Chain A
Amino acid sequence: MKKLLPLFSAILLALVIVLPATAQQNFRPTEQSVKEEQLLNALKPGGTVSGRISIPDERAANLIQPEGRDWQTYRRTTLPTIGTIAILGMVALLAIFFLARGRIRIEKGFSGRTVLRFPTFDRFVHWTTASCFIVLALSGLNLTFGKMLLEPLIGESSFGTLAALGKLSHNYLAFPFMAGVAAMFLIWVKDNIPGKIDVEWLKAGGGILKKGVHPPAKRFNGGQKAIFWIVVIGGAAMSISGWHLLFPTEGIGEVQFQSRVHGVIAMLFIAVMIAHIYIGSLGMEGAFDAMGTGQVDENWAKEHHGLWLEEEKAKAAKAPPGAVAAE
């Protein structure tokens, strides 16, 4: 036994020395690590690789958001394509319509008698919103198409100044525009509830497709109701998405989404407004007066808003003699 003791101790000693060494070889705590590749592969669309940050800017905790690279596809390809198709498409449609139908005349000619269609306040609201819209639309289009179309023409320096002014006015005019859309909603919503009469109006081609056909319409016909709801709903969508872009509170994914909404709706909105501007000016005789002086010709009113004219006449007949119509 005594002879074996040194042997045992030698074996023990060997174990003490060797075991931790092998254990160390198998377990290296520093080797475990979060891998970039795993995180990127596990990422959902729009997701971010993020962690903890010790500076106060919470947004800086996002380390990588690969979606950022995809947003440029929207900006460089998707949006310009949608915009070009919508705007040039609308202009082409209107050109075809003009060539085929020409200017829509008042069939019985001007009667010389007029009736008040839009009082001063209505026209004020309309033109406030409209002028804001035009500046917003042009400065917005400049961000999408300016680099392509305008910069080669006027040079980098003037284009930069113009774009900066455009962005500034876009930020500030957004507020009167929002107020204008809200006011238009309040003053005109009661006359813009869609009904059966609008279906009939649409079926008859809206009184503008065929000569001599004038389906009955109240204060606003089907087409005008459509424009009204496009402005109200489109304007609301533009306002909400624009608000998010002006005052971003959530993460980068949110801003990217809102900018997509803002851009696409803007392009469609502009296309529809081009049609609205056409029919309200060049496209139809007597139509501009409604928003110009506010007084429309009776024959125009009879053809396009027959029921409304009857209502107005009935109201005027009821009013005591000598009373002045309130404006």
Chain B
Amino acid sequence: MARMKFLCDADRCIECNACVTACKNENDVPWGINRRRVVTINDGKPGERSVSMACMHCTDAPCAAVCPVNCFYTTADAVVLHNKDTCIGCGYCFYACPFGAPQYPKVSSFGSRGKMDKCTYCAGGPEADLTQAEYIKYGANRLAEGKLPLCAEMCSTKALLAGDGAIIAEIYKERVMKRGYGSGAWGWKTAYKETIAI
């Protein structure tokens, strides 16, 4: 089984936000929630870079560790998913997440958060694969169809890579060797406790 990861090659990202839009559309993400976002660092200054970020599907995921009701689970592909039926919307995973991935739809004005929503790596949820129930709660399950997450699949500059960690690391390494520079695999150190040595 693969160890699925995301890698954003910031030297290629042109901040077109297509990944954000594609994700919202493919997964029918609730209003006000963005499972993926593009952040521009050093905006307007020399060396500016844009990074597309979502849930990184961490190794030893902090969200799963702090959840009071054990709603998280890791799939055989190392994708971190959660069960919305068990989730109580306490917000702890948001406190623990280094990437601000967990978000909560506002269900009332009285400070109660709805069920947490985050990137599923286009792998749905605990319901049976490719069912309507799964789609309504979690969005698409492209992994079950043998496809990768749409954000990475349709990235116009192939900045955002998804797939087996070893393979995408190799692709990134080759690129850096060829062009002679790279701003790093953003978030890898925090998510996987490793960086790509070049």
Which A residues are within 8 Å of any B CB, using their own CB?
A: 28-37, 39-40, 49-55, 57, 59-69, 71-72, 75-76, 142-144, 146-147, 151, 156-157, 159-160, 163-164, 166-168, 171-172, 245-248, 252, 255-256, 259
Within 8 A of A (CB), among B1-38: 10-11, 15, 17, 20, 32, 34, 37-38
List A contacts of B47 (CB < 8 A).
Answer: 32-34
A163 CA / B53 CA spacing, docked (Å):
31
B112 touching A171 by the CB < 8 A rule? yes
List B contacts of A36 (CB < 8 A).
Answer: 183-187, 189
Please judge, given known A-B contacts A64-B99, A75-B96, A164-B88, whether A57 and B32 are in contact too, CB under 8 Å.
Answer: yes
Q: Does B49 contact A (CB under 8 A)?
A: yes
List B contacts of A51 (CB < 8 A).
Answer: 39-43, 50-51
| Minimal beta-carbon separation of A300 from chain B (angstroms) | 43
Q: Top 5 closest A-B pairs, CB basis? A: A36-B184, A246-B111, A68-B98, A51-B41, A52-B43
Per-residue interface assignment for chain B, residues 96 to 116, with 1 indicating a CB less than 8 Å from any chain A CB and 0 otherwise: 111110000000001110000
Q: What number of B residues sit within 8 Å (CB to CB) of A?
A: 56
A75 CA / B37 CA spacing, docked (Å):
28
Interface of A is mostly: helix
List A contacts of B38 (CB < 8 A).
Answer: 53-54
A68 touching B97 by the CB < 8 A rule? yes
Stretch at the interface among B65-73, B74-82, B141-149, B152-160: B65-73
Residue of chain B at shortest CB distance from A255 = B95
Residue of chain A at shortest CB distance from B195 = A37
Task: Specify which of B41, B50, B69 is in contact with A159 (CB 8 Å cutoff).
Answer: B69
Please judge, given known A-B contacts A33-B183, A66-B98, A259-B95, whether A144 and B190 are in contact too, CB under 8 Å.
Answer: no
Residue of chain A at shortest CB distance from B115 = A164
B39 touching A61 by the CB < 8 A rule? yes
Among B10, B100, B112, residue most surrounded by chain A Cβ atoms (within 10 Å): B100
Chain A to chain B contacts (Cβ below 8 Å), 11 pairs: A28-B181, A32-B47, A34-B47, A36-B185, A39-B41, A51-B43, A55-B34, A57-B37, A63-B41, A157-B86, A256-B95
B34 touching A67 by the CB < 8 A rule? no
Residue of chain B at shortest CB distance from A49 = B41
A55 touching B41 by the CB < 8 A rule? no
| Minimal beta-carbon separation of A164 from chain B (angstroms) | 4
Q: Does B92 contact A (CB under 8 A)?
A: yes
List A contacts of B85 (CB < 8 A).
Answer: 160
Please judge, given known A-B contacts A57-B32, A63-B53, whether A147 and B69 are in contact too, CB under 8 Å.
Answer: yes
Q: Does B163 contact A (CB under 8 A)?
A: no
A172 CA / B108 CA spacing, docked (Å):
12
Task: Specify which of A31, A61, A71, A163 is in contact with B181 (CB 8 Å cutoff).
Answer: A31
Which B residues are within 8 Å of any A CB, using their own CB?
A: 10-11, 15, 17, 20, 32, 34, 37-43, 46-51, 53, 62, 65-71, 85-86, 88-92, 94-100, 110-112, 180-181, 183-187, 189-190, 195
B95 touching A62 by the CB < 8 A rule? no
A39 CA / B189 CA spacing, docked (Å):
12
A96 CA / B13 CA spacing, docked (Å):
67
B183 touching A35 by the CB < 8 A rule? yes
A50 touching B96 by the CB < 8 A rule? no
A66 CA / B185 CA spacing, docked (Å):
15
A164 CA / B71 CA spacing, docked (Å):
12
List B contacts of A55 (CB < 8 A).
Answer: 17, 20, 34, 37
Task: Specify which of A32, A60, A157, A172 is in contact with B100 (CB 8 Å cutoff).
Answer: A60
List B contacts of A53 (CB < 8 A).
Answer: 37-40
A210 CA / B98 CA spacing, docked (Å):
55
| Minimal beta-carbon separation of B29 from chain A (angstroms) | 12
List A contacts of B20 (CB < 8 A).
Answer: 55
List B contacts of A166 (CB < 8 A).
Answer: 88
List A contacts of B17 (CB < 8 A).
Answer: 54-55
| Minimal beta-carbon separation of A30 from chain B (angstroms) | 7
B65 touching A60 by the CB < 8 A rule? no
List B contacts of A39 (CB < 8 A).
Answer: 41
A167 touching B51 by the CB < 8 A rule? no
Task: Specify which of A40, A63, A69, A156 is in contact with B86 (CB 8 Å cutoff).
Answer: A156
B70 touching A151 by the CB < 8 A rule? yes
A34 touching B37 by the CB < 8 A rule? no
List B contacts of A259 (CB < 8 A).
Answer: 92, 95
Task: Specify which of A60, A64, A256 is in contact with B190 (CB 8 Å cutoff).
Answer: A64
A60 touching B90 by the CB < 8 A rule? no
B100 touching A65 by the CB < 8 A rule? yes
List B contacts of A31 (CB < 8 A).
Answer: 180-181
